[in-house]
Structure 1
């Protein structure tokens, strides 16, 4: 019987159904508890995994939606069978609280089951049929049918900040498998043990449902050459990535430079601005400030939807908002960050604001080790628009308030923004005209617009968009969350005058 409470990693890669050790290893750096040795990935292992995925695609790409739905549900069941062990090692590796890991596990299994339901309904197929018109003049029209088909093996990069929902069996993997595409995952070094136990769950589901072994592989760790080898492998058809702008842009460029370029679906970062309109600030500015502080520091600010920028007018009501936010932030204790490197990057990002004449420190703290304390700064719109560094994401609990003077400055600031994952408007009824003025601008800047809320957290649903114009993501027409994300791994194929025996099952 499976012991669901104890898990000791063996540190191997999963390649086409086999656990494979590497020649060298690295040691994990958990927030607490014992460290473990894990095999280092290599380009040769990448080649083995990609070849296995390509071989599997000839079978898996032709499976029925019903059989893939059974497979996705089996993965969810196997993850839940390891629930306690996943929570334990995930918490040790990342420092995230157990409740957060339990919630993220539920999100992971939930999106697997959501994709199972989605493909059974068939809406993702976008089936179309132009019936033949043999009598049409001046030329007859042939019978033409269209359906979406899987593109081939997909590479997925595990995310540092979501060891479950955006990693081994996360949204990219679930969407690709639902589409009929085998997956090769590059595990993240922040949580290799968590990746391994989830890969064990996927392997158990493969065995249970009789899917081909090469439908899933996990390659642990590795130097930069492993990621490069994966995105440039000629058998990989698309890449899903969640991570830094610098790392994602480097991989995006490699995908574009291939002999046969492929799509790179990267979610790279965002400051997720909030626009606090005057009537809302008058009525409840302090409450919004307190709520912002809670959103800004949730999970030590390690969310891609963290609302790092607040735009509010100069005046006593705006002062009350800033004061309430600062007071709430002062009460937030130090929080453990996901890795030492992320903690160091947070301190470096915070240092960009030090000693600048155009930036006023509202609350400054000194973080050390793997911990993070919140920081809050204030600037003016001209300085913000003049210096792109002020608008760069700081991954952690740091907020910047931009104090504006009137609707024209609000509009100018919105127009000067880079692409964002989210943009939020806090408004009351008296702010409607200004909000209407902002809407056409924000629609061009962000993938998700909110009113009177906070963007931290992303609902996994049919209508959700988690993406946006660059640099929020590398493909403004895609989402990495929700059922619409399956379209990244499908392509339309037309079938003209084909007899029923040659049509795909989903058209026959």
Structure 2
């Protein structure tokens, strides 16, 4: 099935053109023209979302669940066309896009089932005690209620699962909040066909047309206008630390500050303990290399740093990783800009006085080849820039001289999405020493695995202390993510007829 984008925005049920256009920059195939977003379109979309909220925000859980299921079904109905345009725009393999599509529709169905159960509402009822002395107690009931229109910024590295109808959009719609999506210019055609699926679901289920809008392209004023629009009540964002922090500051500076749920960056360190590396150095080295290479290193959970105890076992680990990477072919990156940023990151490491090259390659154009460097723990602690994320297949081995130095490293890391412990039974006492520190640093802790791959389940936390995310009490993956877009409301002595349906 062939899909040719028309290049329009979807604003409250209407496909809208603009006077200015931009061209997509596909990895292969034809480029297409798309209308450029404007502040006026932001206002129209926000107004439509606010109008829709008065119906959608007060709809039943079953109504919203049916809508989420319908979106998933409409996406699957366009499966081949989505793979075709997504592969052209991003250069991602067809199998990866098919898997990501399944993840996207799967989380829509999961959220639909979750809100049908109603557990996220956290209902609490305290009965009246009119005979209580010295004063009677009134009846008080509490429930979580949707907050209003939500802005979502599409991610560059996941054109489906974290973009137009991805996790943030699905969570907001599940909560009862209309959504205005700022599409990512790296894959506008993919965003358009997903928006077509959402519109078809709106029409099929009778949802208000303003419940979803997609604005393509646009300069910084569009993103700024979206987060500062007075009708927008929260923002979901996946992207760079610099871009996310700028939007976060704008949200905080509003006359009415709003929550900004941003996932901003992480190096996802691994701590490899003594007994495990003695027994499995080569296996872990090869596994680390495979995780670094996955998706050309363009995963937010890419384990960019391996902390090891210096010595012969560490040498074996590094040699195995290097041997695996030497066999790797160049991979296509998502955009020319991401590819350039990767080359800049590699150059920064090459110029570092502290980092020692282990395996280096030349990358050009939109392709990326892997690189590994190593550094002593002492030098790493002095070089803050070596702990900054490089988006791509670059790994850094940090050699610690002792467990005390490894613990010092752990305490020195900034907030992370994930931290991994590689350990055997003989490492238990060292792991017990590290675990309380690591728990304060990351949203997800792993043992004997690799963090690339985030399960969409009730128990998942995809977030962490800053700068991994701007709100470490939240997650952008899993059913708990719905709670970002609701707030608790207490009802005291309310007649039953005035209460929300779920609280009666």
The answer to whether the superposition gives a TM-score over 0.5 is: yes
The match for 2:416 is: 420
Q: After superposition, what is the alpha-carbon deviation per residue over 1:441-465, rounded to whole angstroms, capped at 9, x for unaligned? A: 0000000000000000100000000
For residue 349 of structure 2, give the secondary structure of its aligned residue in structure 1.
Answer: coil
SS of the aligned residue for 1:19 comes to strand
Moved more, 376-385 or 415-424: 376-385
Residue 128 (structure 1) aligns with: 124
Question: 2:274 & 2:110 partners in 1: Cα distance?
Answer: 40
Partner of 1:154: 150
Aligned to 1:173: 169
The answer for the alignment partner of 1:343 in structure 2 is 339
Q: Which residue of 2 aligns with 1:506?
A: 502
Say which of 351, 354, 358 aligns to 1:358: 354
Match of 2:57 in 1: 61
How is 1:15-34 mapped onto 2 (pairs within 5 angstroms)? 15-34=11-30
Counterparts of 1:232 and 1:333, CA distance in 2: 44
1:203 aligns with 2:204: no
Q: Tell me the CA shift for residue 356 of structure 1.
A: 2.8
RMSD: 0.5
Question: Which SS does the other structure have where 1:423 is aligned?
Answer: strand
Q: CA deviation at 1:406?
A: 1.1
Pick aligned residue for 1:466 from 459, 462, 465? 462
Q: How does 1:231-250 map to 2 (within 5 A)?
A: 231-250=227-246
Q: d(CA) in 2 for partners of 1:345 and 1:238? A: 29
- Note the 1:39-50 alignment, pairs <5 A: 39-50=35-46
CA distance in 1, matches of 2:37, 2:376: 47
- Aligned residues of 2:268 and 2:417 also touching (Cα < 8 A): yes
Q: Gapped runs of 5+ residues in structure 2? A: none
What is the match of residue 259 of structure 1?
255
Q: CA deviation at 1:214?
A: 0.1
2: distance between equivalents of 1:182 and 1:359?
A: 48
Select the residue among 369, 382, 396 that pairs with 1:400: 396
Question: What is the rounded CA distance, in whole Å, between the counterparts of 1:221 and 1:165 in structure 2?
Answer: 19
Secondary structure in structure 2 of the residue aligned to 1:148: strand
Match runs of 1:205-220 below 5 Å: 205-220=201-216
Of residues 142-151 and 355-364 in structure 1, the stretch that sits farther from structure 2 once superposed is: 355-364
SS at match of 1:403: strand
1:326 maps to which of 312, 319, 322 = 322
1:86 has 2:86 as partner? no
Q: Which of 381, 385, 405 lines up with 1:385 in the alignment?
A: 381
Per-residue deviation, residues 266-296 of structure 1 (Å, max 9, x unmatched): 0000000000000000000110000000000
**TM-superposed deviation, 1:137:** 1.5
3-state SS of the aligned residue for 1:470? coil
The Cα offsets for residues 205-259 of structure 1, whole Å up to 9 and x where unpaired, read as 0000000000000000011110000000000000000000000000000000000
Deviations 1:374-412 (A, max 9, x none): 000000112212221000000000000000011100100
Question: What displacement does 1:355 show?
Answer: 3.4
Match of 1:8 among 1, 4, 8: 4
Q: Secondary structure at the match of 1:487?
A: helix
2:297 is aligned with 1:307: no
The runs of 5 or more residues in structure 1 that have no matched partner are none
Match of 2:370 among 369, 374, 381: 374
Q: For residue 354 of structure 1, report the CA deviation from its aligned partner.
A: 1.2
Judge conservation of contact 2:416–2:466 (CA < 8 Å) in 1.
yes
Distance in 1 separating the partners of 2:333 and 2:116: 40
The correspondence for 1:444, drawn from 413, 425, 440, is 440
Determine the structure 2 residue equivalent to 1:38. Answer: 34
Q: CA deviation at 1:14?
A: 0.1
> Within 1, Cα distance between the matches of 2:137 and 2:421?
50
Contact 2:354/2:383, CA 8 A, preserved across alignment: no
Contact 2:114 2:479 in 1 (8 A): yes
Residue 368 of structure 1: CA displacement? 0.1
**Which position in structure 1 is the counterpart of 2:100?**
104
Counterpart pick for 2:425 among 418, 426, 429: 429
C-alpha separation between the residues in 2 aligned to 1:154 and 1:221? 18
Asked if 1:119 is matched to 2:115, the reply is yes
Q: Distance in 2 between the 1:235 and 1:69 partners?
A: 24
Which residue does 1:186 correspond to in 2? 182
Partner SS state of residue 258, structure 2: coil
Q: Encode CA deviations 1:115-137: one digit per residue, 9 max, x unaligned.
A: 00000000000000011011111
* Distance in structure 2 (CA, Å) of the matches to 1:332 and 1:138: 76
Distance 2:8 2:351 in 1: 48
What secondary structure does 1:117 align onto? Answer: helix
Distance 2:455 2:79 in 1: 22
Matches of 2:219 and 2:256, distance apart in 1: 24
User: 1:357: Cα distance to partner?
Assistant: 2.9
Question: Under a length normalisation based on structure 2, what TM-score does the superposition of the two structures give?
Answer: 1.00
